[in-house]
Amino acid sequence: MNTSSPYPYREMEEALRQLLAEHGSNDYARHELAPLIAAKSLLMNHLYEDLGLASRKEMNALMQEHFPALAARKPENIRWKKYLYDLLGKTAPACGMCQDFDECFDCQIVQ
């Protein structure tokens, strides 16, 4: 009997949802945004694009408002998706195909 999840990234999505929920500034951030951001983080575009935002500036504003502790620690030159997965000690599914590889690669956050 195969007990593996039919959705191979379910554990990563849940870990990211938990991380975001722990750092959410309010119920909306913890219960609405955290699951949405976690799910969208598995897609293949930049996180701001998959969230329907127009720019990285909008992404930063969203995260600063709703996840201020995470935003305060994020290095300026690291993309949000990469940063969040670094905090988990994981690699986002899209990272292997990203065109910004040179700007983002090997930026593990020292905790």
What are the pLDDT digits (tens) for 30-85?
999 999 999 999 998 889 999 999 999 999 999 999 999 999 999 988 899 999 99
User: Furthest-apart CA pair in the chain: how many Å?
Assistant: 47
- 3-class SS shares of the chain: helix, strand, coil, % to 5: 60, 0, 40
pTM comes to 0.83
Average pLDDT score over residue span 90-96: 77
Distance from C-alpha of 63 to C-alpha of 57, rounded to nearest angstrom: 10
> Tokens 């408002």, residue?
65
Q: Which amino acid is at 67?
A: F
Residue 77 phi, psi (nearest 5):
-90, 10
